[in-house]
Amino acid sequence: MTIKDTLLYLGKATLFGLIMAAMFLLVTRYFDNQSLGSSLLQTRANNTVELSFAKAVRRAAPAVVNIYSLSIDQNRPLNSGSLQGLGSGVIMSKEGYILTNYHVIKKADEIVVALQDGRKFTSEVVGFDPETDLSVLKIEGDNLPIVPVNLDSPPQVGDVVLAIGNPYNLGQTITQGIISATGRNGLSSGYLDFLQTDAAINAGNSGGALIDTNGSLIGINTAAFQVGEEGGGHGINFAIPIKLAHSIMGKLIKNGRVIRGALGISGEPINPVIAQILNLPDLKGVVIMGVDPNGPAARAQLMPRDVIIKYDGEDVPGVEMLMDRIAETTPGKKVMMTVIRQGKQQELPVIIDEKVVVDN
């Protein structure tokens, strides 16, 4: 066999292999799409195929509960009390832990949880966190429905979602929309990283479930955008991502509260004007604008116009990262802060305090 024949043979074998690989990928993708569609496409009795989210709803809806406040007439205390609808909640575990919004149960004296199967339970408040507007309740019951949870695949803009709750105390209701945006913060304390959706979230939906088309929980419904006193209805609604909510739930179950660190400063990101005024080499870091005179920063002699460039040895790219690291630091821990002061770099040790939670 000549060299030409050998090259021709190898070329044909290589081409055949590439063609087979391409066909395999096409077939695999086809069946993947078929399996994806099968969960959304339902065959009706008349053999017509329609788009449906019924399977997703059946997986998640039983675990979404209605939350009521039990009010007793003080003039007739022996009579049975009446239930006032407060909002919704989601059963997260077989032990009976329920996630809801703090503002849902904030003013309730006695809380009653109603399941979709007709059962009602009185519940105890395990803990709450006003900073993230989350609360954990607990009920005692057998064979409790549990919502599927998706912690590994963060929602993306354009994903179809369903909101489940008890709007206006009408009973469980499903609304549908998409994820309009992610990372919407600045609406609360800065600890939140909201999902924005156009799925309707009305009064009573708060604390309910935001699920994907597989029926997995991806967020806790919390608020609708309002302008003045006109209420919602703008198609701009918000949910707390389940990864954050799940983390807060674990801390509330463990400690009854969320323990956060505090430094006692207010800061702003570096912009070109500030960088020029303070003679900074780049735009990384956080410039201190104010210092609490009774806080850890003041005791460590941090001052306004200091620029924090490292926190506990980690570079500080901006305000959000710094505030997250401070909040995650165990109170009482000594942390080294690298700052630029008057053009010179220096390190200052700071002992972090516990953040005082202000309940508005």
Query: Residues with catalytic annotation?
Result: 103, 133, 206
User: Is 176 exposed, middle or buried (CB count within 10 Å of its CB: 0-12, 13-18, 19+)?
Assistant: middle
**Among 159, 129, 198, which residue's Cα sits nearest to residue 360?**
129
CB neighbours of 206 closer than 8 A, spacing ≥ 6? 87, 88, 100, 101, 103, 104, 165, 221, 222, 223
Would you call 63 helix, strand, or coil by DSSP?
A: helix
Distances 318 to 261, 270, 287, 314, 323 between C-alpha atoms, Å? 18, 8, 9, 12, 9
What is the C-alpha to C-alpha distance for residues 304 and 178, in angstroms, rounded to an integer? 43
Amino acid making up residue 340 = I
| Distance of alpha carbon 168 from alpha carbon 204, whole angstroms | 5
C-beta of residue 149 within 8 angstroms of C-beta of residue 216 = yes
CA atoms within 13 A on the CB side of 100: 35
| Phi, psi angles (nearest 5°) of residue 299 | -65, -30
